[in-house]
Structure 1
Amino acid sequence: MREPLQVLVLEDEWPARNYLVQLIEQSGLGHVLAAVPSPALASEALAAAPAPIDVAFVDIHLAGERDPSHAGLTWIESLAASSGGPTPPLRIVLTTASSEHAMRAFELGVVDYLLKPFTAGRVRTSLERLVASGSRLGPRSSPAPTRIAARSGRAVVFLQREEAFAFEAEGRLCFVHTAQGRLDVDLSLTSLEAVLGGAYVRVHRNWLVSVSHVRAMERESGDFVLLVGPAQPPLRVQVAKDRAAAVRDRLLTSAVGLRRDQS
């Protein structure tokens, strides 16, 4: 079975970034190692990625940069310059609302355009073309385990799955709870749930919790609360009423000692 392409997403708009990550992951053809809003963070993620990145999906217009109208192209040019060649050392797919920069993109070796708004079919087609063109930069003896990229100030921190107790959404921000404290992540809970799979359970619209780090499930004034993580006191996570039965079943599935139908 072919390994998925290792992907970097550079997109400054939070909704577009997370939707693109979901479409890439759901295609089964790509795995997002990092999704970031700025060229500086993209360069850091590229340098520190736990596996070689095959392709970057890059937005042309990036708010907050010196020249936002073509900041994505400027970053691609910097990659090419640092590699000593006319094109960057990885495949590039531009994500943009127009094709006005097509000529310069062609000169830089950009392999595809994704026009906004994204669609599942168009993202899949782009990935299929990359796979068919042999875009993998080198052989891998085995697929790299998924690690979690988070931010602590200006530093990019890479965590093993078992280091992440839970993910919390707060407004438009998202955080991961670890022994190092609460760190920033750029993906939505929905995107993280798609990437991380069954090791985590969505217990509330604002919480995604590691099954292996749940220490207890308690009733509190008619509601269920999970005690999560090794800290003292543990993290207390409320379970949504409409998810309580499914969460309890999921926790009991990975445990022995009690009947699943026991109240």
Structure 2
Amino acid sequence: MREPLRALILEDEWPARNYLVQLVEQSGLAHVVAAVPTPALASETLSTSPGPIDVAFVDIHLAGEQDASRAGLTWIENVAAQAQQNPGDFMAPRIVLTTASSEHAMRAFDLGVVDYLLKPFTEGRVRKTLERLLAADHRTARPLLDPEIRIAAREGRSVRFLDRKDAFAFEAEGRGCYVHATQGRLDVDLSLTSLEAVLGPSFLRVHRNWLVSLTHVQAMDRQTGDWTLLVGPGDPPLRVQVARDRIATVRDRLLASAIGLRREG
């Protein structure tokens, strides 16, 4: 079974960006590595990603950018130029356009765009695109996650860059996702599913709404029949509920890196 594709989404409108993230992840064929509103953040993702980005979904019209009506196309041109200048050092993602207009379609396909999604997106159309990309994907291995990779999060209008060791839990609440870190509770764009795939085994999904750093767990506590984890350096620490069907797995994973108690029981 092939690994899911690693996807980047460049879309300035939050509702469209969020919906496309949902469609991509629900397909089970790809994980969204980053969903960003600007070309600068998209380029940063390409340069800092610990593994290759297989596909980038790019909106042509990006409000707030110079020549906004074709800003996405400009970014694609820059990526294509970088790939030509550095063929051995830079692997450009395959590009899928996501736009409400077909105005720039011919120029886009000249640049090697592999598909075109017109808004509003549909589950079936997104899935068909991903299936086509997977069928053409012959890569069998990807580099492991760079342990030095940092986490980008939002605090108001600021972007904060966190060391992974400072992040002790990720929480899904409503339509948002948050990182709990020594710097506070900050917004992130990725879903828990994508974060779980990218961060690796040092983080464990303990509940559908929680992804926890195992090294930051201080205690596993039982009160009134429910198990909770005490996580992080706070006083008091963050209290995270463990799902009933995850209790045994969580306990085993924690005991596997500790001594003093038997793992059974």
Matches within 5 A, 1:56-95: 56-84=56-84, 89-95=92-98
Q: Which runs of 5+ in 1 are unaligned?
A: none
1:150 aligns with 2:155: no
- How has the CA–CA distance of structure 1 residues 117 and 212 changed in structure 2, closer, same or farther, with 3 Å as cutoff? farther
* Residue identity opposite 2:170 in structure 1: F
Q: Which residue of 2 aligns with 1:37?
A: 37
- The alpha carbon displacement at 1:245 in A equals 4.8
Q: Which residue of 2 aligns with 1:125?
A: 128
After superposition, the C-alpha distances for 1:85-120 in whole angstroms (9 at most, x for unaligned) are 7xx933100112232221221222211012223233
- The alpha carbon displacement at 1:62 in A equals 2.1
Cα distance in structure 1, aligned partners of 2:225 and 2:193: 27
Q: Which residue of 1 aligns with 2:235?
A: 233
* Residue identity opposite 1:4 in structure 2: P
- The alpha carbon displacement at 1:23 in A equals 3.0
Tell me the SS of whatever aligns to 2:235. coil
Cα distance in structure 2, aligned partners of 1:188 and 1:14: 14
- How has the CA–CA distance of structure 1 residues 236 and 156 changed in structure 2, closer, same or farther, with 3 Å as cutoff? closer
What is the TM-score when the length of structure 2 is the normalising length?
A: 0.70
Identity rate of aligned residues, in percent? 61
Greater CA drift, 215-224 or 72-81:
215-224
- The alpha carbon displacement at 1:224 in A equals 7.8
* Residue identity opposite 1:121 in structure 2: G
Cα distance in structure 2, aligned partners of 1:259 and 1:247: 15
Q: Which runs of 5+ in 2 are unaligned?
A: 86-90, 256-260
> Number of paired residues?
247
Does the Cα contact within 8 Å between 1:22 and 1:194 map onto a contact in 2?
Answer: no
Q: Which residue of 2 aligns with 1:201?
A: 206
- How has the CA–CA distance of structure 1 residues 251 and 68 changed in structure 2, closer, same or farther, with 3 Å as cutoff? same
Cα distance in structure 1, aligned partners of 2:2 and 2:192: 27
Does the Cα contact within 8 Å between 1:54 and 1:91 map onto a contact in 2?
Answer: yes
- How has the CA–CA distance of structure 1 residues 106 and 112 changed in structure 2, closer, same or farther, with 3 Å as cutoff? same
Cα distance in structure 2, aligned partners of 1:192 and 1:119: 24
Cα distance in structure 2, aligned partners of 1:172 and 1:30: 20
* Residue identity opposite 2:4 in structure 1: P
What is the TM-score when the length of structure 1 is the normalising length?
A: 0.71
- Aligned partner of 1:114 among 90, 112, 117: 117
